[in-house]
Amino acid sequence: MTEQGVRWTAEQVLALAPDDASRKAGGRLGGAGPWSQTGGSASGAVWGLCKGSGRTPYRTVVDLTGPAYKCSCPSRKFPCKHALGLLLLWAAEGVGDPAEAPEWAGGWLAERAAKAAPPAVAKPVDEEAVRKRAERRAARIGAGVVELEQRLADLLRGGLAGQEQAGYGAWEETAARMVDAQAPGLAARVRELGTIPGCGPGWPARMLEEFALLHLLDRAWLGVSGLPERLAATVRTRVGLPPSTEGEVVRDHWLVLAQYDSVSPDGRLTTRRIWLRGLASGRPALVLDFGPPGRAPGLALPIGLVLEAEARFRPGSAGLRADLGERDAAAVPGDRAPVGVSAQAALEAYGAALREDPWLESWPVVLGPVVPIPGEQGWQLADPEGTAALPVPLSGAGSGSRSGLWRLAALSGGGPVTVFGEVGHRGFTPLTAWQPDTPQPVALV
């Protein structure tokens, strides 16, 4: 299938940029001037030579089915400015009829195709050895949970008043103990606890909330053998164990609803969240990718694109977490906005999800039609009839961007819009919006 006739918009290309500097630099390379020997394949790849400061032009190739990028420049950013410029050139002018890739581009594309091929038959697994390793790890986690429970009890007994002055060190030490106990999920929650005293007014109440959720997870682990299997799988995932069974595989055309990054409290890890929605199944999916310090995550999917792919859902993740598998063609722009639900239906969906995962902070919802309403007590997203509304948190975790909210208000102009976001116990965080009768999304984060 050729994708040369179905191109992305410039906004969708620039959404791939890892930072503002790359976005500006890529924009300057989006014309034909610095490029030579450009071309594209029927399978969804584009390539070209970009003139740089040296004698030898940079060899740049993009696999649109990923998307994935390869460039001979020394940049550590993905995509680099040359890949962005090539995609902008392709989006604006195209790169001609499908052709055979040159050797330098074809070799990399062939390597990617080989890696995507089905794996060889796995070696037989020693079930007894696996069972013993699992028992040893469960024992270590159990000891870590008991230690963590004692730590929480000591803190509550002494009160929270001194936590603002206590600093982050004690929490990092406790998190390290959880890592030693092979419970990375508990370690992550402990690190988040350590950041709460510095999050502004109301932190004691939020800290007590997180204490309660962590205590609930501890008690659930200690009694995991007596829980229903679906809930037990959720507990194991929350503690940090890998899934013990294969997840459901869903093949669909997936609309990219939103993409945004967050940085861990210690600054060592960037997490990219990409929200998808199956056009046939209606199922939401959350794809995560990670980047080390100073480097953006490698996977980037511009909002508004539709990709045909397999999504393998992970057990025990409220049916949300998925890994993208085989993709047969390049992503193409969507031709319609998603259908939204009412504020009441959004809350009911979140409540149903909490029954599956009590530690779930939010649930993905397409809301609409709704009208954004600013007010003295904060923003709301209200049904056009004014019968129901959801508040938009303006501070703390899961809060909405103020600039994004004013962008949403300008897009609305006082009329109804469709909004995708995350609904949770603090309200609704808008991430993407659509005007009526247009498929073009507007990012709010």
Query: What are 62-82's pLDDT values in tens digits?
Result: 998 878 899 999 988 888 999
What are the distances in angstroms from CA 96 to CA 99, 159, 316? 8, 69, 47
Query: What number is the average pLDDT over the span 280-307?
Result: 86
pLDDT digits (tens, 9 = 90+) for 138-158: 999 999 999 999 999 998 888
Give the H or E element holding residue 84: helix 81-93
Bridge partners, residue 98, by sequence: 40
Closest alpha carbon to 61 in 80, 42, 34: 80
**Structural tokens at position 399:** 């809060």
Residue 435 — φ and ψ, nearest 5°? -75, 160
Residue predicted with more confidence, 53 or 371: 371
In sequence order, what are the residues at sequence separation of 6 or more whose Cβ sits closer than 8 angstroms to the Cβ of residue 259?
15, 272, 273, 274, 275, 300, 301, 302, 303, 443
pLDDT digits (tens, 9 = 90+) for 166-220: 878 888 899 999 999 999 999 989 988 888 888 788 889 989 999 999 999 999 9
In sequence order, what are the residues at sequence separation of 6 or more whose Cβ sits closer than 8 angstroms to the Cβ of residue 147?
177, 181
Q: Tell me whether residue 245 is exposed, middle or buried, using C-beta atoms within 10 angstroms of its C-beta: 0 to 12, 13 to 18, 19 or more.
A: exposed
Residue 240 CA, chain-centre distance (Å), reads 18
pLDDT digits (tens, 9 = 90+) for 265-285: 667 778 899 999 999 999 999
Q: How many CB atoms lie within 10 A of CB 27?
A: 17
Residue 155 — φ and ψ, nearest 5°? -65, -45
- pLDDT at position 120: 56
- pLDDT at position 395: 58
Dmax over Cα atoms in the chain, in whole Å? 72
Q: How far apart are the first and last CA of the chain?
A: 34
CA angle 64, 68, 73 (to 5 degrees): 120
Residue 281 CA, chain-centre distance (Å), reads 20
- pLDDT at position 1: 35
Indicate if the alpha-carbon torsion angle 254, 256, 257, 260 is positive or negative.
Answer: positive
Q: Tell me whether residue 432 is exposed, middle or buried, using C-beta atoms within 10 angstroms of its C-beta: 0 to 12, 13 to 18, 19 or more.
A: buried
pLDDT digits (tens, 9 = 90+) for 95-133: 777 788 899 998 998 888 877 666 555 567 677 887 888
Confidence band for 344, pLDDT divided at 50, 70 and 90 = very high
Residue 56 — φ and ψ, nearest 5°? -90, 125
DSSP assignment letter at 197: G
- pLDDT at position 2: 36
Residue 7 in this model has a pLDDT that exceeds 80:
no
Bridge partners, residue 370, by sequence: 417
